[in-house]
Structure 1
Amino acid sequence: MEENKQVYRLQGLSCTNCAAKFEKNIRGITSVEDVQLNFGAAKLTVQGLATIEQLEKAGAFDGIKVYPENRRESVEKQSIWKKRENITTLISLLFTALGYIFFFVMDESHPATVGSFLGAILIGGYSLFKVGLKNLAKLQFDMKTLMTIAIIGAAIIGEWAEGAVVVFLFALSEALESYSMDKARQSIKSLMDIAPKMAIIRRGNRTMEIDVEEVQIGDILLIKPGQKIAMDGEVVKGQSSINQAAITGESIPVHKTAGDEVFAGTMNEEGSLEVRVTKRVEDTTIAKIIHLVEEAQAEKAPSQQFVDRFAKYYTPAIMVIALLVAIIPPLLFGGVWSEWIYSGLAVLVVGCPCALVVSTPVAIVTAIGNAARNGVLIKGGIYLEETGQIKAIAFDKTGTLTEGKPEVTDIVLLTDKGEQEVLNIAQAIEQFSQHPLASAIARKANRIHAEAYEADGFTSITGKGAMATVLGIEYFIGSPILFEGMLDMNNEVKEKIRYLQSEGKTVMLLGTEHNVDALIAVADQIRESSKSIIQKLHELGIKKTVMLTGDNKLTGNAIGLSLGLTETKSELLPEDKLLEIKKLAEKYGNVAMVGDGINDAPALATANVGIAMGGAGTDAALETADIALMADDLEKLPFTISLSRKTLSIIKENITFALILKIIALLLVIPGWLTLWIAIFADMGATLIVVLNSMRLIKKDVL
């Protein structure tokens, strides 16, 4: 099945209706099994066999061009003045202007006047009529069908001038919609151009420059100062500062040396590096980002789903209203047929749902693109909208609010065992553990050159610690809770534990089931930015900020207090964190959980929005979270919430404005003030304002 899958990039895909029709036409190709069209990303996935000629024929009605996704040369950028539909729009404008000159110099019924307006209608509306008449024949009622009926009707009742203006202004609004979507798609195109297409590599004794598609895992990448890194890999030689802004959104360069990970598309600033390639071009972090952003733009947000459902019933309703406006007054109240048919046509034009249809996708696509350029991956419009409604945020402690690299600060000896002996035993047990506290013990043991003791029968005690047999004795290492269940600790030991905990340190005990040999205090450094970020979140109106930690109450409260969090929940097992998220959701509605994307997966999944730290190079973060902060830093969290709120606000403004303008224009029918002029200006004006309003989301800083 996979070998028959082809992915293409599209050019000239102008509107959502055109996209739906293009997809339907491709499904009509007998050798095609399935097709997915991503309008936001202008991307087409075809399952089955179809030539580019067949696909372009399916999109010929809209002049759609199809290019293979892996084509190395860039798709030619078409000037706005060279697009066929824009040229015909300009010619239509010239004929309309000529018609008005004849209108004022001669009169409205002169053949030169009528001929000029007719020329404007036929030239400017040719592609519109071609689609509109076909749709009419199949009783498919969309925007182009409405416009076709309105323009033909205007010509029949002799309103040539207004028919010509309607054609021109409709073509202009279509061009604006197409232009706005192209601008929104630029966010993805700019991401695609980040990584170089060629790489200088060394294989054996040979150095060569090859296409990145041909680079293999294990090749040595040679990177000179000032060059962009072409592939993801691990530094094997040299050191340099790397600007990772393209991936993480952070412009401060990061120092890299042997053993450090580097990413495709990042800039090597001053040193020469040799990098061993660890991922193929399609698996690099930037490739994953592009894929996720495109998938996100294809996901329909709740407001877009509402608009789609609404438009399905709205268009036929407008047709019925227009028909009633045209026939009821002349039939029942003696109205003049030509006047009321004219009003009915104006209703058709004003009822055109252009502004409504474009109100949401342009805003969503633009916002997701803006976020990606700033190092925030939002995996769909639904998460963008839900983030904008967040009232409470829960934070994991380790690696989120803290640096995630705890260090041993104190070793309190309680028996005749020395510090070296305690670390030898602790290291022997903890070498099997993946817990961050275990890594702190390993680092301390390495620094003092601890002896490598062997441990047998290692057993992890979930949420409490671990046990193993070292030198023939069964030792336990873990939290005070673990030992409280096994033996009676004297008050002096309890007091020492409380004192260390009150300083914000996590205390581990090492001993047997009969006595405690030592207390090992470990402290994780709080991130410098955490306090100011919590403050910003409160200023943004987040009502509740909670830290969920497995640490003891004293340590948790000490950290929570220093950061200014509204609440701290301590001594939690993973399942307890999940319950806390559910409680927050019951009280506050929309809840976000911020974690590292590896631990706390149930809590991240249960929250309305799961936000993972450190997306760059962390596959788990990219896969499990709804939003990934690529810089492994909370700095981008207020930006993300602010952007989401702005997007939500703009979508609501767009929908409200588009509907109110339609209703006002339709009410003008009652006193008979609605003209085709007013109708088309109401429709085009609404589309233009909605598009320009959505374009405000392109700005980098929305705070």
Structure 2
Amino acid sequence: MSNHEEFQVRGFTCASCATQFERNVNKLPGVSEAKVNFTASKLSVDGTVTVEELERAGAFENLKIQEASFSNNDWESDPIWKQGKNIRVAIASLFALAGWIALFQLGGESLLSVSLFLGAITIGGYQLFWQGLKNLVRAQFDMKTLMTIAIIGAAFIGEWGEAAVVVVLFAISEALESYSMDKARRSLRNLIDLTPKNTTVLQGTKETSVSVSDVNVDDVLLIKPGEKIPVDGTVMEGHSSVSEASITGESIPVNKKEEDRVFAGTVNEEGILKVRVTNRVEDTTLAKIIHLVEEAQQEKAPAQQFVDRFAKFYTPAIMILAALVATVPPLFMGAIWSEWIYLGLATLVVGCPCALVISTPVAIVTAIGHSAKQGVLIKGGIYMEQAGKVNAIAFDKTGTLTKGVPEVTDVDPLDGEDKVRLLLTAYHLEKYANHPLAKAIVQYIKDLPEHVDSEIEVTDFVTLTGHGVRGKINSVESFAASPTFVKDHYPAMFTKSLMEKVESLQKEGKTVVVVGDAKEITGLIALRDEVKPRTKQTLTELTRLGVKKIVMLTGDNTYTANAIGTEAGVTEVRSRLLPADKLNVIKDMQQAGYSVGMVGDGMNDAPALAVADTSIAMGKVGTDAALETADISLMGDDLAKVPYTIRLSRKTMMIIKQNIVFSLVLKALALLLVPFGWLTLWIAIFADIGATLLVTLNSLRLIRTESGTKKPNNRKG
């Protein structure tokens, strides 16, 4: 098995440079396969290679390499004004400016002005020339090849000043492209920065400050108020509220007590917590999120794949057009060679596809980074694009539309029966069961002020699968079971009036437990899994977004399903469904022509999630199942993030289309000047810079997309 290593790369200026670096690394001895993630500035290598070998492979771009480590989060790009290549551009700009001053002062070209222009070209463009010439020899026609031909051609026909300006402006355009990608990546870097570099480990009563990378599983950490939690763990001692906004996007702090889980990157707000470590820093939920976001940002949306294919034909087409502009008028119309060669060179420059190439990735990277910050993990550009097309959504009921935790709503002793007797019978039977309904009943009775946990022995205890529990209390066979079980086994006691009470509660969406013994029925306990707050508001928002069909899928009985569905505001309810039935419902909707989204818990809804056009898992604050199963994971289980995701997808695709139009229209307008002889190298390069700037600023508008979660009012009155 070959060795797998990951490296952080600093110095990429464009996607084509990343592609060239990947080719160079793949040619190194000892490397079986290398892949560059341009958006995350990372390199994955299968094989054996040294940092020195990698830096030699990236010498054409002066790339700097180091081994990737989650805890090593302090290696960021220098500010744009401190980067060596940009310092060289600044010097080249001064030379070019001095050259133009000399040109005007001396009334024309002179040895001084040409020398200054040549200095600007050499200082600002020697790396560009070297790579461009190598590409030309290999017949690889990218941006640097086009610019090299244009600059050499301009110098050849004596346009030294314009050649110098083109070098400087192209370098500025590259700096803009590099800046835009760095800006888009910053949301991911902010996630990494959530983890502190050091933490306090407790050894008995001794407190020791250690590097987070040295923290091991089962270590005990002391987390003080205001400190970030460095790794995942379980609270051993203490009580506090913890802000999990970095993981879930939810601004309301979560109360934490003993045995509760806490996550890396969250903030302890109030009390002191002692936390036992469950995951090392590289294995935390936050680390998994960052890894998924990195992979997602590299996955290309169909729109980006189209742009990549288009660029392969676009660049050679521009070269052919430039050659025709330079040669056809002089050859067949008697035009002046120098003028049309100049126009041909300007055509090469204006055709440079910088803005077009970054039009999609800068938008995708920005959108996925922003959504991750909001607690929504989108696993790639293809899923980002597909989410906006959804016009029908199926929701699982339990844990998705509802809280997933049943609560006792009614305790109804039959006429003449004692409520305390009813509760005690239910308590002593249900405390041996592990079902959510049983746990809810036991907890409800424990919390009652009148409850007395008397010592009553239960014998012959039996779990009635799917129906409840049964056992002997004081040698009398007793039960806490479903109405169906009681009706089948004790038909004489299941009277018409009792049936009417049961049906009345079920029509309210409640689950009914019948309590009694072999002699008589003591009474009924009703429970209900309440609809989550803001569910109806969220579904109304989905309808406003053009979602035509909202279906609730559940295995519950029809009465309960209809009651919950009505309260939630769905358009259709499908009840008594097995997992395979849910899958068939999704397929039927697809066959009816809908693009279907499925929202579930990522586990028992797996078949339906797998077949849906867009699958969205309720994340349960970072469970592995949620992170791995669906196309999109909602880390905070906030349904409001579903319409947010659809809005973000549609806005992203709109911006990508705008970016493509901006980059092509600006160049087309510049090319329209060619027949009139008005296109200059200056106009050409400004058209390229303008398109790059427009694309960048337009993409960064995605950062302002509303998350759909209203901030609470924290003022105390």
- Give the alignment's TM-score, normalised by structure 2: 0.89
Show CA shifts across 1:199-219 (max 9, x none).
212235644222222222222
Contact 1:429-1:455 at 8 Å conserved across structures: no
> 2:161 corresponds to which residue?
161
In structure 2, the CA distance between the partners of 1:494 and 1:320, relative to structure 1 (3 Å rule), is farther
Look up the equivalent residue of 2:79 and give its one-letter code. S
Show CA shifts across 1:292-312 (max 9, x none).
111111211111111111112
Q: 1:687 deviation in Å?
A: 1.0
Q: 1:194 deviation in Å?
A: 0.8
Contact 2:117-2:160 at 8 Å conserved across structures: yes
> 2:378 corresponds to which residue?
378
Choose 633-642 or 592-601, whichever is displaced more: 633-642
Choose 355-364 or 294-303, whichever is displaced more: 294-303
- Give yes or no for the alignment of 1:39 onto 2:42: no
Q: 1:507 deviation in Å?
A: 3.7
Q: Structure 2 CA distance, aligned partners of 1:576 and 1:630?
A: 27
Q: 1:114 deviation in Å?
A: 2.6
Q: Structure 2 CA distance, aligned partners of 1:49 and 1:134?
A: 27
Contact 1:107-1:113 at 8 Å conserved across structures: no
Look up the equivalent residue of 1:565 and give its one-letter code. V
Q: 1:54 deviation in Å?
A: 1.0
SS of aligned partner of 1:670: helix
> 2:191 corresponds to which residue?
191
In structure 2, the CA distance between the partners of 1:335 and 1:491, relative to structure 1 (3 Å rule), is farther
Q: 1:132 deviation in Å?
A: 0.1
> 1:67 corresponds to which residue?
66
Look up the equivalent residue of 1:419 and give its one-letter code. L
Q: 1:143 deviation in Å?
A: 0.6
- Give yes or no for the alignment of 1:566 onto 2:585: no
> 2:134 corresponds to which residue?
134
Show CA shifts across 1:174-217 (max 9, x none).
00001111111111111111122222122356442222222222
> 1:13 corresponds to which residue?
12
Q: Structure 2 CA distance, aligned partners of 1:628 and 1:422?
A: 42
Q: 1:686 deviation in Å?
A: 0.8
Q: 1:117 deviation in Å?
A: 2.4
Show CA shifts across 1:361-415 (max 9, x none).
1111111111112222221111111122222222212112221110233466799
* Correspondence 1:198-213 to 2 at 5 A: 198-204=198-204, 206-213=206-213
Show CA shifts across 1:91-115 (max 9, x none).
2222222222233233443333333
In structure 2, the CA distance between the partners of 1:529 and 1:467, relative to structure 1 (3 Å rule), is closer
> 2:247 corresponds to which residue?
247
- Give yes or no for the alignment of 1:297 onto 2:306: no
RMSD: 3.2
SS of aligned partner of 2:201: strand
Q: Structure 2 CA distance, aligned partners of 1:520 and 1:288?
A: 43
Contact 2:483-2:502 at 8 Å conserved across structures: no
- Give yes or no for the alignment of 1:399 onto 2:402: no
Q: Structure 1 CA distance, aligned partners of 2:145 and 2:309?
A: 19
Choose 550-559 or 414-423, whichever is displaced more: 414-423
Contact 2:431-2:439 at 8 Å conserved across structures: no
Q: 1:669 deviation in Å?
A: 2.6
Choose 124-133 or 224-233, whichever is displaced more: 224-233
- Give the alignment's TM-score, normalised by structure 1: 0.90
> 1:103 corresponds to which residue?
103
Look up the equivalent residue of 2:545 and give its one-letter code. L
> 1:623 corresponds to which residue?
628
Choose 240-249 or 471-480, whichever is displaced more: 471-480
> 2:711 corresponds to which residue?
none
In structure 2, the CA distance between the partners of 1:356 and 1:487, relative to structure 1 (3 Å rule), is farther
SS of aligned partner of 1:231: coil
Q: 1:663 deviation in Å?
A: 2.7
Q: 1:485 deviation in Å?
A: 13
Look up the equivalent residue of 2:540 and give its one-letter code. Q
> 2:120 corresponds to which residue?
120
Overall identity of the aligned pairs, in %: 55
* Correspondence 1:338-487 to 2 at 5 A: 338-410=338-410, 419=422, 423=426, 427=430, 430-431=433-434, 436-437=436-437, 439-441=439-441, 443-444=443-444, 453=458, 465=466
Q: Structure 2 CA distance, aligned partners of 1:78 and 1:364?
A: 24
Q: Structure 2 CA distance, aligned partners of 1:178 and 1:310?
A: 22
In structure 2, the CA distance between the partners of 1:324 and 1:398, relative to structure 1 (3 Å rule), is same
Moved over 4 A (4+): 411-418, 444-460, 466-494, 508-512, 515-520
Q: 1:473 deviation in Å?
A: 8.9
> 2:151 corresponds to which residue?
151
Contact 2:426-2:480 at 8 Å conserved across structures: no
SS of aligned partner of 2:547: coil
Indicate which of 663, 669, 676 corresponds to 1:671. Answer: 676
Q: Structure 2 CA distance, aligned partners of 1:541 and 1:452?
A: 59
Q: 1:497 deviation in Å?
A: 3.2
> 1:176 corresponds to which residue?
176
Look up the equivalent residue of 2:426 and give its one-letter code. L
Contact 2:73-2:192 at 8 Å conserved across structures: no
Q: Structure 2 CA distance, aligned partners of 1:167 and 1:679?
A: 12
Contact 1:394-1:593 at 8 Å conserved across structures: yes
SS of aligned partner of 2:676: coil
Choose 467-476 or 638-647, whichever is displaced more: 467-476
Show CA shifts across 1:231-281 (max 9, x none).
211112111111222222222222211121111222212211111112222
Q: Structure 2 CA distance, aligned partners of 1:509 and 1:586?
A: 43
Choose 494-503 or 642-651, whichever is displaced more: 494-503
> 2:666 corresponds to which residue?
661
Show CA shifts across 1:111-139 (max 9, x none).
33333322222222111101000100111
SS of aligned partner of 1:10: strand
Q: Structure 1 CA distance, aligned partners of 2:486 and 2:352?
A: 69
Contact 1:533-1:634 at 8 Å conserved across structures: yes
Contact 1:550-1:570 at 8 Å conserved across structures: yes
> 2:715 corresponds to which residue?
none
> 1:306 corresponds to which residue?
306
In structure 2, the CA distance between the partners of 1:77 and 1:141, relative to structure 1 (3 Å rule), is closer
Q: Structure 1 CA distance, aligned partners of 2:651 and 2:459?
A: 58
